[in-house]
Amino acid sequence: MLGRIIFGIIGIPVGIVMMVYAHKIVDNFTGSIGFAERYFGGGGTYTFIRFSGALIAIISMLIMFGIAGFIYDSIVTTLSGIAGQ
């Protein structure tokens, strides 16, 4: 329980910072990412960094509130066929 809360407290701000400071992250740390430029078009690296930040923040919230475990269990039981028994 405490681990999930700590993970959320760390993960949500990290994701938000990635979204807000995408230009500084790309300019100072990563540089251009080839596949992001190819699939997202011009400026695709900035879009990829923002998308990654949003994904990190959302997943951190799901883990923090315990929803991720419920979703994971639902997917696993459905795919394994246990739900039908």
pLDDT given for residue 85 in this prediction: 54
Give the pLDDT band (50/70/90) at residue 78: confident
Give the pLDDT band (50/70/90) at residue 70: confident
pTM (2 d.p.): 0.79
Q: Is the four-CA dihedral 69, 72, 75, 78 of positive or negative sign?
A: negative
Domain residues for 77?
2-84
User: Is pLDDT larger for residue 73 or for residue 51?
Assistant: 51
CA-closest candidate to residue 22, choices 32, 7, 9, 12: 32
pLDDT at 72 exceeding the cut of 80: yes
The domain tally of the chain equals 1
Render pLDDT for 10-32 as a digit per residue (tens, 0 to 9): 999 999 999 999 999 999 998 89
CA-closest candidate to residue 7, choices 47, 61, 81, 49: 61
